[in-house]
Amino acid sequence: MKSSETAYSGTLLKISGKDYDLYDHQVKAIGHIDRGRNVVLSVPTAAGKTVVAYHAIAKALSQGGKAMYVVPLKALASEKFRELRRLREDGIRVGLLIGDYEVDTETLSRMQVLVSTSEKADSILRHDPGFFNDFRVMVIDETQLLGEEKRGPILEGFITASRIVNPDLQFVCLSATISNRQEIASWLNAEVVLSDFRPVPMRYGILNKQTIVYDDNEEESVEGDIVRHVVGKQCGEGGQVLIFRGSRKKAEDEAQLLSESFDFSSSKQQRGERDDETDRHEELLDSLMRKGIAFHHAGLSSNMREKIESGFRAGRIKVICATPSLASGVNLPARAVLVRDITRYSSGYSTYLPVSEVRQMLGRAGRPDFDRIGYGLIYASSPSGVSAAKDYIESDPEPIISKLGNEAKVRFCVLGAVSTGLVTNTASLESFFGQTLYASQNGADKLVEIGRDSLDFLIENDFVLEAGGRYRVTKFGEASSNLYIDPRTALTIREYLQSGEYGEERALMTASASEDMPKLTTYGSEILDYTGFLERNGYEDDPDLYSAAKTAMMLRDWISEKSVPVISEDYNVGHGDIQARATAAEWILYSMSRLAVLFRPEIAAEIDALALRVKDGVGSDILALTRLRGIGRVRGRRLYRAGYSSLQVIASATPEAISELPGFSKSLAEDVIAQARRVEGTWK
């Protein structure tokens, strides 16, 4: 797709001495921002959306206000925070909000720019609505995710609530192409700025049998395997390639096959350090990465995914074979993107992927400052596949449709709205839902009806009190809202706490059975004793509980310090799957410990300690050791077995002695000892 748009000869903003030249769409967007208008900027990837956001932020700061930059994922928030370091160099205080469960708004209030995930921003709003009064601009990145099933309702609820809390808040919404952009703009009372301009022009092509047909009708005949041809040609000319496959196994197999034909290493790369936590995926990756090839999916540990991404950015890795999750994650452009699988097996049959998802993947093609042209390629093995591929290239993405009309999402939203005081009676309930995207698209009647049913549920279960037609949260409701858990999760926890029983396994099962836990998939070939585990913890032998039981059993083995390779093999999971469930369980157990203060305070400390153990995957005897920076489950156990069983013992040790242990350099040993001495008060 070509554009006549050219660079504007002017300067947008100088940050640490850097000037930005503007494109036409940037000039238009900035003009609207300067006039105080909300803006929906819909342009392709790498077309300069961030520069517009920088201008909006700078304008807000110049007027004595603050700015928030909202993104959907933690990885994107961290990436954006790193980009904004230039502002920090100019003395502007920039904060990152992705982690802690309890938010210290007093500390955050000293920040002038906050980068946050939508969930964390919504959590702050629930905790302290007045915190948003000082903000002048709200940048919403990846606005198209309003139509996503899981994150969309949270983002929609947050935008709706923040507009009510601070009516003067200016919104700058950034996205790749939105087909119903005018509808979104109407909801936000915003100006639309649209462009198909790409700094790196895109050339689309369809791979079918031995031919590549490009969008300008040029055909390229290929001998041999067509995927290898693309990889060899693009990498041979100095480019990099992203190949998207439909499953983890396909991504791994593709990378292995390519490694049999190519070796892109420019120098002899050393084998990565292997320890007790290196699973089979990471061992395989180590050999592939030494050839400049990698695979990428959610089953890998976060450290390994970061290693792959940084290696690709640095040019050491030339090809990544990834699942589609990479496309919605960090910014990782390549000269050529090949969507190898355009169907997905779901509910017993195969369906074509949505246009928006394929376009998201193709949008990664073209590296600014490196490539003259980007290649967006689609593999199609049948006539119907070729037809679908043409539609992906020529059609607009599906319109953004609100997913808020879901009972669970509305229930969660209503509790937050009552907790913040935005909903105090039936009239304010109707007013709140009348300002949502859902109401803008469908009318508010159905949403208000679900909202009233949700209020009845919340009143019946002691989250909300109703008196004289007015609503207010109970202590239980306020705690549940501030903890940012589903009300049904809170009920599951309360039932467990009021049962009068406590045990590690049962606490893990309670967390795993909750609404907020992403449960592991069970397979018929598994030989795990779900029945025994359930009965031992007071549950009936119910196949509907097997996924929760499997998740709890895995977490039990995790805190028993079974190694990652063993857990991976026993439960058919990857390192990243273990990390994801441990992170979720830590959050739910932390919530359990806070609710225990209300219902069973004598066990709150035990549950809190269990949450910390789940975070690190450790036994109680080394929990204190893993509080030290640089000490995880493997190094903590090595310290303990060598006799360094407490911080006091470590504080009295010498760096020479500790550095003799496997995995401990002298500098790490010195740092660990210094930390222990500070904690013990023996630092000299």
Please tell me the CATH superfamily of domain 7-194, with its number.
Answer: P-loop containing nucleotide triphosphate hydrolases (3.40.50.300)
120, 559, 578, 602, 684 from 619: Cα distances, Å: 30, 6, 16, 21, 31
- The pLDDT score that the predictor gives to residue 682 is 64
Q: Identify the residue whose tokens are 């196949």.
A: 543
User: Sign of torsion, CA 368 369 372 378?
Assistant: negative
Pairing of β 293-296 and β 7-8: unpaired
- The pLDDT score that the predictor gives to residue 329 is 73
What is the distance between the alpha carbons of residues 313 and 364, in angstroms, rounded to a whole number? 13
DSSP state, residue 67: E
pLDDT in tens, 647-660: 999 999 999 999 99
Can you read off the two tokens belonging to residue 385?
A: 């596949």
Q: Identify the residue whose tokens are 């940084």.
A: 310
pTM value is 0.91
Map out the domains of the chain as residue ranges.
7-194, 202-394, 407-483, 487-617, 625-680
pLDDT in tens, 426-452: 999 999 999 999 999 999 999 999 999
pLDDT in tens, 271-295: 555 556 666 777 889 899 999 999 9
Return the CATH fold of 625-680: DNA polymerase; domain 1 (1.10.150)
Give the residues across from 375 on adjacent strands. 203, 336
Is domain 202-394 given the CATH code 3.40.50.300 in the classification? yes
Contacts of 483 (CB under 8 A, 6+ apart): 101, 490, 590, 591, 594, 595
- The pLDDT score that the predictor gives to residue 551 is 98
- Alpha-helical runs (H) found in 484-574: 487-498, 504-512, 530-536, 546-559, 564-571
Chain-centre distance of CA 109, in angstroms? 24
Nearest-CA neighbor of 392 among 558, 569, 118, 206? 206
Residue 296 one-letter amino acid: H
List of the chain residues with pLDDT < 50: 1-13, 15-16, 684
Phi-psi region of 517 (alpha: psi -120 to 50; beta: other; left: phi over 0): beta
32, 139, 162, 193 from 37: Cα distances, Å: 5, 13, 16, 12
Can you read off the two tokens belonging to residue 206?
A: 């369809």
**Are the C-beta atoms of residues 419 and 477 closer than 8 Å to each other?**
yes
Give, in words, the CATH class of 407-483.
mainly alpha
Nearest-CA neighbor of 139 among 211, 61, 222, 212? 61
- The pLDDT score that the predictor gives to residue 4 is 41
Q: Identify the residue whose tokens are 């609710």.
A: 595
What is the distance between the alpha carbons of residues 577 and 298, in angstroms, rounded to a whole number? 7
**Are the C-beta atoms of residues 266 and 291 closer than 8 Å to each other?**
no
Which CATH code of 1.10.3380.20, 1.10.1740.10, 1.10.150.240, 1.10.3720.10 fits the domain covering 487-617? Answer: 1.10.3380.20
Give the neighbor-by-neighbor strand order of the sheet with 319-322: 219-221, 211-214, 202-208, 374-379, 336-339, 241-244, 319-322, 293-296
Whether 7-194 shares its CATH topology with 202-394 is answered yes
